[in-house]
């Protein structure tokens, strides 16, 4: 079963990270043969698909490289200046895997995947613009609502500052043109909102079961290890996002989502749109916590008023016939609006805006 999960993770990397695909494909074969990968993954044999054991393994190996503990493997990793040579990748990986098997096993067992991809701020920004203006329209206001952003599964909180990011659209930069992080959102179409308005964020908070402290070298290495090492654009984007975070710290509380959300939503702010946000986190949440979270949100939605509106904005994968599609979904209360705003790559860019009902 574990080998099949590794193979599935390798398939998910196809055309996007040849290095990770090859590493996980060879690791799956090694698992079947009872090789060193089986020793590293001991204790994870019954992991469910949502815990993505293959990506935890790949992240642990990448961290070894980032720490300078696998020089023979580093020559394949562009994140440290290497150049992949896929036919010899596994051969060069084996010495590092054998030498550090115990360390890798501890990390795989103790780690949850923390992508915290800052590229997701691009669809989030557009979605917040739509939400603020649709809520205002429903309340009969001429000015968009200010936003209070609550992120569940926030990791290190990199996506809790969308108003401090720049978004390059042809010859125009939305958001903050002087930001340390300027994204090319690669949008097809545009959000159904007046983009000349400024997004005003008046409150931000996040929670995570395992929050990452971005002020520490350990935290930065942890997030960096989960970036596919041959995707240098994402690598550079993360570096800029970490630099931005250092100038604009946001606290992420260590808490389960439902309990934290109940406390946050108990405080109602007049003339502010409260937006609950999560991205690519649903697969990691237990069925019990999913049900509790829905109940907490439903209770708050029932109390929302035109002057204290509530929104749910999520960017999560939906299964298609042969793969997954990441969709940006918006619900607004008490307006009763449910919209599918579009779809994009799992890392947030590129993204296609195409508003349809959320069914």
pTM: 0.91
Backbone φ and ψ for 143, nearest 5 degrees, come out as -115, 135
Q: Where are the alpha helices (DSSP H) in 232-341?
A: 232-247, 257-266, 287-303
User: CA 345, 347, 349 angle in degrees (round to 5)?
Assistant: 60
| CA 267 vs CA 201, 231, 257, 336, 352: distances in Å | 17, 41, 16, 21, 35
Cα 84 off chain centre by:
26
| pLDDT tens by residue, 8-27 | 999 988 888 999 999 999 99
Supply the pLDDT for residue 333. Answer: 98
Closest alpha carbon to 201 in 131, 262, 296: 131
Supply the pLDDT for residue 171. Answer: 83
| pLDDT tens by residue, 49-62 | 778 899 999 999 99
Q: What's the pLDDT band for 116 if we cut at 50, 70, 90? A: confident
| pLDDT tens by residue, 63-72 | 999 999 999 9
Closest alpha carbon to 53 in 105, 89, 18: 105
* Tokens linked to 279: 């991205």
Which has more confidence, 44 or 320?
A: 44
């Amino acid at each position: 079963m574990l080998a099949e999960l590794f193979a599935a993770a390798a398939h998910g990397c196809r055309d996007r990270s040849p290095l990770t695909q090859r590493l996980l494909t060879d690791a799956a074969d090694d698992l079947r043969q009872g090789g060193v990968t089986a020793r590293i993954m001991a204790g994870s044999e019954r992991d469910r698909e949502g815990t993505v054991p293959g990506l935890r393994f790949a992240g642990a190996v990448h961290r070894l490289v980032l720490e300078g503990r696998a020089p023979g493997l580093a020559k394949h990793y562009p994140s440290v200046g290497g150049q992949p040579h896929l036919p010899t990748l596994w051969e060069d990986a084996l010495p590092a895997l054998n030498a550090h098997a115990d360390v890798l096993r501890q990390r795989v067992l103790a780690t949850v995947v923390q992508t915290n991809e800052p590229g997701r701020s691009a669809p989030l920004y557009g979605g917040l613009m739509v939400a603020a203006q649709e809520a205002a329209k429903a309340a009969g206001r001429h000015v968009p609502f200010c936003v209070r952003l609550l992120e569940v599964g926030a990791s290190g909180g990199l996506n809790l500052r969308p108003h401090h990011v720049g978004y390059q659209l042809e010859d125009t930069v939305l958001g903050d043109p002087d930001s340390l992080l300027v994204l090319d959102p690669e949008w097809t179409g545009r959000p159904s909102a007046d983009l000349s308005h400024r997004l005003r964020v008046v409150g931000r908070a996040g929670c995570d079961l395992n929050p990452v402290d971005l002020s520490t070298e350990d935290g930065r290495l942890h997030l960096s290890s989960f970036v596919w090492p041959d995707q240098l654009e994402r690598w550079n984007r993360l570096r800029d996002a970490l630099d931005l975070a250092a100038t604009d710290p946001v606290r992420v509380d260590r808490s389960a989502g439902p309990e934290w959300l109940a406390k946050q939503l108990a405080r109602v702010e007049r003339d502010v749109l409260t937006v609950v946000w999560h991205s690519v986190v649903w697969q990691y949440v237990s069925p019990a916590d999913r049900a509790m979270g829905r109940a907490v949100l439903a209770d708050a939605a029932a109390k929302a008023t035109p002057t204290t509106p509530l929104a749910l904005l999520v960017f999560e994968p939906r299964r298609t016939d042969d793969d997954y599609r990441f969709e940006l979904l918006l619900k607004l209360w008490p307006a009763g609006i449910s919209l599918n705003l579009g779809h994009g790559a799992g890392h947030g860019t590129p993204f296609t805006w195409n508003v349809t009902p959320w069914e």
